[in-house]
Amino acid sequence: MSDLQEEGKNAINSPMSPALADVHPEDTQLEENEERTMIDPTSKDDPKFKELVKVLLNWINDVLVEERIIVKQLEEDLYDGQVLQKLLEKLAGCKLNVAEVTQSEIGQKQKLQTVLEAVHDLLRPRGWALRWSVDSIHGKNLVAILHLLVSLAMHFRAPIRLPEHVTVQVVVVRKREGLLHSSHISEELTTTTEMMMGRFERDAFDTLFDHAPDKLSVVKKSLITFVNKHLNKLNLEVTELETQFADGVYLVLLMGLLEDYFVPLHNFYLTPESFDQKVHNVSFAFELMLDGGLKKPKARPEDVVNLDLKSTLRVLYNLFTKYKNVE
């Protein structure tokens, strides 16, 4: 126990402690039974964690580009509720009844309360675990802020690809009977895209990716043979499934070949340049699949555009199962 107390004391008070590098000065003084959490510095250096922060930052800035808001640091720029308010209003297409600018701590927390209540109204019916609070967000708790942003990104089907299975080590320091006690816990920030989207049913491709990667190449070869049998009629050739279907053009053309009709060129972008144009193409291909009697694809158009192999394979396998006997 004495070692644990010493560890906690060092984590907060030692000027040489690496864990102190990202702790605010006000975090070094704890009241009785008060608790502070911080991400272990080694976790902050993890490439997947850095990628998660980067993707979320870029997404927020893309959403708020018309507001001329630029977020540079999540915990410093989001804690007072101002940016979160603008983000939610933009995503949900609503207007929150809050003061525009609030300098006082009470005013900031009141704004945060209103914003988070609106978030909870959206997320709670979907069964999201709400792993944040007014105090944790206002206290610049990066783990809580990341949980909130990941939930919002998934709920609003953000056109981004979050790195999967991001876990961080969190140092928890609590003051009890005048002594500091610290512990380390693992905090899971993301799981898989399917699970975070609420689609928990696993399929053959989950099993393939997780347990039989050697068989994956066999499946890919079969699908490449299938799509080329039809695309060759237009003098087109596929060698890479994840990249060559990402702009949606081949998917649209393939549907026309399989259903034996000509797809008018004004319905899709033959040479898409932007992300939105590619998403349009894949979404249009999905509509053609529905018209052809297929079930709605489990994948999102954004996942295919983002070169997610599992999503692309799911879409192509659906086509294969229905059209494998089509000449």
Tens digit of each residue's pLDDT (9 = 90 or more) over 120-179: 988 876 666 788 999 999 999 999 999 999 999 888 878 788 888 899 999 988 888 888
Arithmetic mean of pLDDT, 15-35: 54
11 pLDDT more than 60: no
Query: pLDDT-derived band of residue 195, with 50, 70 and 90 as boundaries?
Result: low
pLDDT for the residue numbered 23: 44
Q: In what order do the strands lie in the sheet with 179-188?
A: 35-39, 167-176, 179-188
The predicted model scores a pTM of 0.60
30-197 architecture in CATH? Answer: Orthogonal Bundle (1.10)
Query: pLDDT-derived band of residue 51, with 50, 70 and 90 as boundaries?
Result: very high
314 pLDDT more than 90: no
7 pLDDT more than 60: no
| Integer angstrom CA distances of residue 324 from 14, 58, 222, 261, 301 | 67, 41, 10, 17, 23
Q: Name the percent of the chain lying above pLDDT 70.
A: 83
User: Rg for the chain (alpha carbons), in Å?
Assistant: 24
Alpha-carbon distance 24 to 45, whole Å? 19
Alpha-carbon distance 101 to 111, whole Å? 9
Mean pLDDT of the chain: 83
Do the domains at 30-197 and 204-324 have one common CATH topology? yes
Closest alpha carbon to 117 in 102, 99, 104, 98: 98
Task: Compute the residue count for the chain.
Answer: 327
204-324 architecture in CATH? Answer: Orthogonal Bundle (1.10)
pLDDT for the residue numbered 295: 81
For residue 167, how far is the Cα from the chain centroid? 14
Query: pLDDT-derived band of residue 197, with 50, 70 and 90 as boundaries?
Result: low
pLDDT greater at residue 19 or residue 207: 207
Range of weakest confidence among 94-103, 144-153, 206-215: 206-215
User: What is the per-residue pLDDT across 224-280, written as a single tens digit (0 to 9) for each?
Assistant: 999 999 999 999 999 998 899 999 999 999 999 999 999 999 999 999 998 889 999
**Which stretch, 39-43, 49-53, 306-310, has highest mean pLDDT?**
49-53
pLDDT for the residue numbered 194: 61
Q: What residue segments make up the domains of the chain, in order of their start?
A: 30-197, 204-324
